[in-house]
C-alpha cells in the first residue's frame, strides 16, 4: 500500500473515531434521560421541594424585608441555572435538575454542574433518592483534591475580637476552622479556615465605613491555614481569639464545604450590617444542618459579636470554648508581674541598650528575659523593628534564656467571653432641661458600643457607633433632630512603657454644632490623640479638628481645631463616669466654641442603664455670644 493511501486510511479512521467520540460525549447519560428527568421534576413538585427552607438556604434566598418576596443574596448570574433563578425557587430547581444530566466534558470535568454545585446535587440526590445508574456521579478532580487536603471531621467557629485600629476589623470578625480527622490540640493550627470578608481597598475608617454601608465592596470567600490567620490576628493585630467548637458531624461538615465551594466563585455585595462576614458564616452553618436556620435571627443586622451569641444560644450546638490570648494580652500579663525598675531593665534589653546577661540568673531575670523576647517579637510583627535587628536581639536573648531553668510564669487570665457583653442595639429616653426649658430626649443606636457602655465582652477604650440618631423636644416646641452620625469612632488606647499606640477619633454626619436654637448641620470631625491609664482611671487628650457648614456662619462654612481632654473612671462594677472638656477656635474668628460635660452610667440590669448627664456649651459667633446648659436623667435599653 502506498504512503498516500495509508495516510488517507489513517485520516478516515481518525475522522470516524472523532465522530464516534463526539456522538458518545453529546449523547444523554442514559437512554431514558428525558423520561427520568421529568419523573424527578414531577417528584420535586409533588414534594414541594422548592418551598423547603433547605433549598432556600442553598440558593441564598431571603425575603425582601418590606415585601416578603424571595430574592437571592447572590449578585452573580453564574450562581443560577434558570434565567429567573435569583427570584424563582421552583424554576431554579427544575433547571438545576436538567443541568445535572448534561454530558461531561473530558477536558474540563470540574465545569460540570455536579461539580460547580456539589451541595445542591448532594441535597437533591438524597431528597429525591436519585438512581446512580440513571444519573451517575461525575468526577470532580479539583473539588475532590480540596476535600482530601482538608480532611474534614468537624467545625469550630472562631471569633477574633474587635481591633479598632483596622477599619475592616472594628466590629470583630467570625470565620470557621475546619477541624481535620485525627486532629489534636498540637496540630489544630494546621487546620484550614473558611473566611468571608470584604475585598476592601480602603485604609481609613471613613472610606471603609462609607463603602461598606452602601454595598460597594464585593465579598469574597477564601480558605487558608489556621496558623496564618492566628499570626494575622494574634501577633500582627494583637487581637484575642475565641474558639467555639461546634457539634457538627463529619457529614454535615462536608456539606458545609460543598456549599463553600459553590459560593467561593460567586459575587456577593458586601454590606456592613447584614450581608457581612458573620452573616455568610451563619448561612454556611444553616446549609450544613438543615433546620438550624440560625441566620434567621438576624433579619436586619448581623454584628459579629451578636452572631456569636446566636450560635451559643442554640442548644447543644457549641461543645467547647477556648481562649487564645493575643501577643499584646500576653505581654500585658507578663508586664503586670514586673515592677517599674524590673520593667525598665527588660525594655533596655529589648531595645538593645543592655546585654541580656546583665539581668542576672534569678527567677525575676528569667521573667524579664521572657518579656523581652516577646516584646521584640511583638515589635517585629508590628513592623516597628527591622527584621535583621529583631533576629539579632532574639538570638542574644534566647541564648541567654536557654541556659536558665524553666519557670511557671502563670497563665494569662481569661477575660469575660464576648457573648457576655451587652446587646449592640440601644435605645434611650430621658427627661430634663435644655436652654432653660423642660425637655425630653430620645436616642437610638443600632450599633454598637460607646465609651460609657459596660466594657464586659468589648475592646477596652473603643467606641464604635454607627447610624446614631438623637432628637429632643423642648416645652412649646416640636421634636427636633439633635444629631445623626452614620459613623462615630473613638480609639482610646492607653500608652504603656513598652508600647505607645496612637489614639484617634473620627465622626461625620449632622449635629447641632451651634446650639439648641439652631438646626443640625453637616460636619466632619476627628484627629489624633494619646491616652494613659493608672489603676483603672483612663485619661486622654485629642486634637479635635472640625469642618462644619451652617447658614448662620459667615461664608456658610468654617474649619477649626482645638484640644479635647477627658477622663473615664469605673466607679464600682456597675457604674462609669466620663468627664470631658474642649475648646475649638475656627478660622477668621467665624466661631469660637467651648464645652464641658459629665455623664454617669449605672447598670440596672444586663439590658438596662440609668444615665445622668450634664453639659455646658459656649458658642461665640461674631454677632452673638451664647451659653446654654443641658441636664438629663434617663433610661437606656439594649436590644
pLDDT per residue over 477-504, tens digit each?
A: 899 999 999 989 999 999 999 999 999 9
Residue 102 in contact with residue 113, Cβ under 8 Å? yes
Q: Does the pLDDT value for residue 5 go beyond 70? A: no
Tell me the pLDDT of the chain averaged across its residues: 90
Three cell numbers at 575?
A: 457604674
Residues in the chain: 639
User: Rounded mean pLDDT of 42-46?
Assistant: 96
Strand partners, 147: none
Query: What secondary structure does DSSP assign to 127-161, as a single string?
Result: HTT--TTTSPPPP-HHHHHHHHHH-EEEEEEEEEP
d(CA 492, CA 286): 38
Helix-helix angle 387-402:340-351, to 10 degrees: 120
Share of the chain above pLDDT 90, in %: 74
Residue 447 in contact with residue 213, Cβ under 8 Å? no
Q: Which residues contact 5 (CB under 8 A, 6 or more apart)?
A: none
3-class DSSP assignment, residue 515: coil
More confident residue, 21 or 236: 236
E strand spans, 45-151: 61-63, 70-72
User: Rounded mean pLDDT of 457-469?
Assistant: 91
Distances in whole angstroms, Cα of residue 374 to Cα of each of 229, 323, 370: 19, 19, 6
User: Rounded mean pLDDT of 242-261?
Assistant: 97
Residue 347 in contact with residue 393, Cβ under 8 Å? no
Q: Which residues contact 159 (CB under 8 A, 6 or more apart)?
A: 172, 173, 174, 241, 242, 243, 244, 304, 305, 308, 418
**For position 197, what pLDDT does the model report?**
80
**Around 454, how many Cα atoms within 13 Å sit in the side-chain half-sphere?**
26
d(CA 305, CA 281): 13
For residue range 345-385, what is the model confidence (pLDDT) as tens digits? 999 999 999 999 999 999 999 999 999 999 999 999 888 88
d(CA 89, CA 120): 13
| Share of the chain residues as helix, strand and coil, in percent rounded to the nearest 5 | 35, 35, 30
Residue 499 in contact with residue 492, Cβ under 8 Å? no
Q: Indicate the pTM of the whole model.
A: 0.86
Q: Does the pLDDT value for residue 40 go beyond 90? A: yes
For residue range 408-455, what is the model confidence (pLDDT) as tens digits? 888 999 999 999 999 999 999 999 999 889 999 999 999 889 999 999
Q: Does the pLDDT value for residue 227 go beyond 50? A: yes
Q: Which residues contact 301 (CB under 8 A, 6 or more apart)?
A: 273, 274, 424, 425, 446, 447
For residue range 132-177, what is the model confidence (pLDDT) as tens digits? 999 999 999 999 999 999 999 999 999 999 877 665 567 788 999 9
**For position 23, what pLDDT does the model report?**
35
For residue range 519-574, what is the model confidence (pLDDT) as tens digits? 999 999 999 999 999 988 999 999 999 999 999 999 999 999 999 999 999 988 89
The 8 Å CB, 24+ separation contacts for 199-204 are 199/270, 200/167, 200/168, 202/167, 203/167, 204/167, 204/506
Residue 95 in contact with residue 85, Cβ under 8 Å? yes
**For position 204, what pLDDT does the model report?**
58
Q: Does the pLDDT value for residue 3 go beyond 50? A: no
State the pairing for strand pair 557-570/537-549. antiparallel
**For position 476, what pLDDT does the model report?**
82
Q: Does the pLDDT value for residue 26 go beyond 70? A: no
Report whether the peptide linkage leading into residue 286 is cis, meaning its omega lies within 30 degrees of zero: no
Q: How many CB atoms lie within 10 A of CB 511?
A: 20
pLDDT category, 229, cuts 50, 70, 90? very high
**For position 237, what pLDDT does the model report?**
82
d(CA 529, CA 33): 71
**For position 2, what pLDDT does the model report?**
40
**For position 201, what pLDDT does the model report?**
67
d(CA 39, CA 41): 6
User: Rounded mean pLDDT of 234-251?
Assistant: 92
Give residue 631's region: left, alpha or beta (phi > 0; psi -120 to 50): beta
User: Rounded mean pLDDT of 383-397?
Assistant: 93
H helix runs in 383-540, sequence order: 387-402
- Please name the helix (run of DSSP H) or strand (run of DSSP E) that holds residue 323, with its range, or none: strand 318-324
**For position 372, what pLDDT does the model report?**
97
**For position 410, what pLDDT does the model report?**
86
Residue 498 in contact with residue 471, Cβ under 8 Å? no
**Around 261, how many Cα atoms within 13 Å sit in the side-chain half-sphere?**
27
Residue 222 in contact with residue 146, Cβ under 8 Å? no
**For position 67, what pLDDT does the model report?**
79
Q: Does the pLDDT value for residue 15 go beyond 70? A: no
**For position 612, what pLDDT does the model report?**
98
Q: Which letter does DSSP use for residue 232 in this model?
A: I
Q: Which letter does DSSP use for residue 359 in this model?
A: G
Residue 567 in contact with residue 578, Cβ under 8 Å? yes
Distances in whole angstroms, Cα of residue 605 to Cα of each of 306, 403, 427, 568: 18, 54, 15, 21
pLDDT category, 294, cuts 50, 70, 90? very high
The angle formed by the CA atoms of residues 326, 330 and 335, to the nearest 5 degrees, is 145
User: Rounded mean pLDDT of 322-351?
Assistant: 95
Q: Does the pLDDT value for residue 20 go beyond 50? A: no
Distances in whole angstroms, Cα of residue 247 to Cα of each of 151, 244, 251, 311: 17, 10, 12, 11
pLDDT category, 19, cuts 50, 70, 90? very low
Amino acid at each position: 500500500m502506498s504512503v498516500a493511501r495509508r495516510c488517507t486510511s489513517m485520516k478516515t479512521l481518525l475522522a470516524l473515531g472523532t465522530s464516534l467520540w463526539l456522538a458518545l460525549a453529546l449523547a444523554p447519560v442514559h437512554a431514558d434521560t428525558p423520561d427520568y428527568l421529568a419523573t424527578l421534576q414531577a417528584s420535586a413538585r409533588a414534594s414541594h421541594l422548592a418551598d423547603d427552607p433547605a433549598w432556600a438556604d442553598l440558593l441564598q434566598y431571603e425575603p425582601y424585608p418590606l415585601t416578603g418576596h424571595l430574592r437571592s443574596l447572590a449578585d452573580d448570574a453564574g450562581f443560577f441555572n434558570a434565567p429567573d433563578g435569583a427570584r424563582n425557587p421552583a424554576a431554579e430547581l427544575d433547571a438545576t435538575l436538567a443541568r445535572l444530566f448534561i454530558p461531561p466534558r473530558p477536558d474540563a470535568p470540574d465545569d460540570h454542574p455536579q461539580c460547580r454545585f456539589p451541595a445542591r446535587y448532594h441535597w437533591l440526590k438524597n431528597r429525591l433518592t436519585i438512581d446512580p445508574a440513571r444519573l451517575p456521579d461525575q468526577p470532580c478532580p479539583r473539588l475532590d483534591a480540596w476535600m482530601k487536603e482538608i480532611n474534614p471531621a468537624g467545625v469550630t467557629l472562631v471569633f477574633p475580637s474587635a481591633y479598632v485600629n483596622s477599619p475592616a476589623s472594628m466590629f470583630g470578625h467570625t470565620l470557621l476552622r475546619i477541624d481535620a480527622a485525627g486532629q489534636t490540640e498540637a496540630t489544630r493550627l494546621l487546620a484550614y479556615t473558611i473566611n468571608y470578608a470584604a475585598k476592601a481597598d480602603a485604609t481609613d475608617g471613613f472610606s471603609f465605613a462609607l463603602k461598606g454601608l452602601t454595598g460597594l465592596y464585593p465579598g469574597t470567600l477564601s480558605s487558608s491555614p489556621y496558623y496564618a490567620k492566628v499570626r494575622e490576628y494574634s501577633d500582627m493585630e494583637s487581637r484575642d481569639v475565641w474558639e467555639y467548637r461546634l457539634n457538627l458531624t463529619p457529614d454535615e461538615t462536608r456539606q458545609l464545604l460543598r456549599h463553600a465551594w459553590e459560593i467561593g466563585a460567586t459575587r456577593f455585595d458586601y454590606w456592613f450590617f447584614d450581608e457581612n462576614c458573620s452573616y455568610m458564616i451563619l448561612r454556611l452553618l444553616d446549609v450544613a444542618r438543615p433546620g438550624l436556620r440560625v441566620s434567621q435571627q438576624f433579619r436586619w443586622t448581623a454584628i459579629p459579636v451578636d452572631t456569636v451569641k446566636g450560635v451559643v444560644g442554640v442548644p447543644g450546638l457549641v461543645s467547647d470554648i477556648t481562649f487564645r490570648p493575643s501577643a499584646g494580652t500576653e505581654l500585658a500579663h507578663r508586664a503586670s508581674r514586673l515592677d517599674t525598675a524590673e520593667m525598665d531593665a527588660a525594655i533596655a534589653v529589648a531595645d538593645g541598650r543592655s546585654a541580656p546577661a546583665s539581668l542576672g540568673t534569678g527567677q525575676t531575670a528569667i521573667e524579664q528575659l521572657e518579656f523581652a523576647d516577646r516584646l521584640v517579637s511583638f515589635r517585629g510583627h508590628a513592623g516597628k523593628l527591622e527584621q535583621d535587628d529583631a533576629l539579632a536581639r532574639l538570638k542574644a536573648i534566647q541564648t541567654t534564656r536557654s541556659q536558665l531553668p524553666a519557670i511557671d510564669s502563670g497563665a494569662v487570665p481569661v477575660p469575660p467571653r464576648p457573648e457576655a457583653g451587652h446587646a449592640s442595639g440601644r435605645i434611650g429616653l430621658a427627661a430634663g432641661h435644655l436652654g432653660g426649658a423642660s425637655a425630653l430626649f430620645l436616642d437610638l443606636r443600632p450599633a454598637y458600643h460607646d465609651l460609657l457602655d459596660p466594657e464586659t465582652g468589648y475592646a477596652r477604650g473603643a467606641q464604635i457607633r454607627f447610624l446614631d440618631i438623637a432628637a429632643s423636644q423642648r416645652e412649646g416646641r416640636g421634636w427636633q433632630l439633635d444629631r445623626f452620625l452614620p459613623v462615630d469612632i473613638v480609639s482610646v488606647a492607653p500608652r504603656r512603657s513598652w508600647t505607645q499606640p496612637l489614639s484617634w477619633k473620627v465622626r461625620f454626619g449632622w449635629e447641632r454644632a451651634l446650639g439648641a436654637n439652631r438646626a443640625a448641620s453637616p460636619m466632619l470631625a476627628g484627629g489624633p490623640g494619646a491616652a494613659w491609664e493608672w489603676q483603672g482611671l483612663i485619661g486622654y487628650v485629642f486634637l479635635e479638628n472640625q469642618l462644619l457648614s451652617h447658614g448662620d456662619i459667615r461664608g456658610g462654612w468654617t474649619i477649626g481645631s482645638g484640644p479635647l481632654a477627658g477622663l473615664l473612671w469605673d466607679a464600682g462594677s456597675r457604674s462609669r463616669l466620663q468627664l470631658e472638656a474642649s475648646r475649638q477656635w475656627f478660622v477668621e474668628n467665624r466661631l469660637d466654641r467651648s464645652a464641658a460635660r459629665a455623664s454617669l452610667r449605672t447598670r440596672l440590669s444586663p439590658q438596662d442603664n440609668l444615665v445622668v448627664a450634664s453639659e455646658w456649651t459656649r458658642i461665640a459667633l461674631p454677632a452673638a455670644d451664647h451659653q446654654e446648659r443641658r441636664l438629663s436623667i434617663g433610661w437606656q435599653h439594649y436590644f
